[in-house]
Chain A
């Protein structure tokens, strides 16, 4: 009978706990975001996954080589309207805060570099653009819609993630906060 008591009380609670934990794990995985990206405190902020990708001239760009700078990593494509709307603002931000340690990096999700080169010239882009791929997207939890931007602190940790268009004032505020922080990221993610 004691066994039945456990079945009625103990096991259901244990099962409930397991189900909740498994559910949270499932949600974290299937939301397509690395678990740490959802962290809200500095200690929980994950390191931005490193990558080495060709820029528009074919040279490799390593994300890790920008450690010490505040990085705005923008996943975009030339055919993506909202992405195009953001680019001129990013050019302005790079002009304004570049000498303080901001580095914007575009990751194009176009199928090939030709339209990106043309776009780069037309929009007078002033920051590097690399050609992304599915692996890079998966490293960042799945880039399954554009634009998606990540703000990375000087310590290489992801501070914020923006899915879809965000107002430039939001980016600017977060960038200024991160630039003020000497070593790491200072503001919680979005």
Chain B
């Protein structure tokens, strides 16, 4: 059984359109970050609490309102890396740093697979040549996976 040519063309057009519309949305999902670049909350807490270990520069790339309510002590807020302006600020802050600097990125705005901020920030660091970058894996959100676990928290700016 063969399908009519017009129907096949229609399928092709719909398929192409769907792929074109979907790919940009997928491109910034945190779930595309390789597992080798991730760090779990408990691992980061151990590093932060171990006196002799090298402390990373920890950067929140999400919302300022969320950062003000609760953030990892000592971490910096830069801005949502999902926007071009946020990404520019991010690159500007990172530019002077040595490329082997230990950096941990985190957000926690949304469930992991939906976070729009981490992938662009991680990709930007990779493109800039940073070699020691980890991304904090927060499965659901910063409240559930960090604050509620009793990990250290700071408030305010």
Show the binding face of A for B, using Cβ within 8 Å: 30-32, 77, 79-83, 109-111, 115, 132-134, 137-138, 142-146, 163-164
Contact = CB atoms under 8 A, between A and B. Distances in A.
Contact of A109 (B63, B111, B114): B63
B contact face: mostly helix, strand, loop, or mixed: loop
A161 B93 CA distance: 38
B111 A164 contact: yes
Given A77-B109, A164-B140, 16 more contacts: A79-B80, A79-B82, A79-B116, A80-B109, A80-B114, A110-B65, A134-B69, A134-B155, A137-B65, A143-B66, A143-B143, A144-B66, A144-B142, A144-B143, A144-B144, A164-B141
Place the interface of chain B in its size category. Answer: 20 to 34
Contacts of B109: 77, 79-80, 145-146
A110 B80 CA distance: 10
Contacts of A77: 63, 109
Interface of B: 25, 63-66, 68-70, 79-80, 82-83, 108-111, 114, 116-117, 140-144, 147-148, 150, 155
Contact of B141 (A31, A111, A146): A146
Given A30-B147, A77-B63, A81-B116, A144 B70 contact: yes
Contact of B108 (A111, A145, A164): A145
Given A82-B114, A109-B63, A163-B141, A30 B148 contact: yes
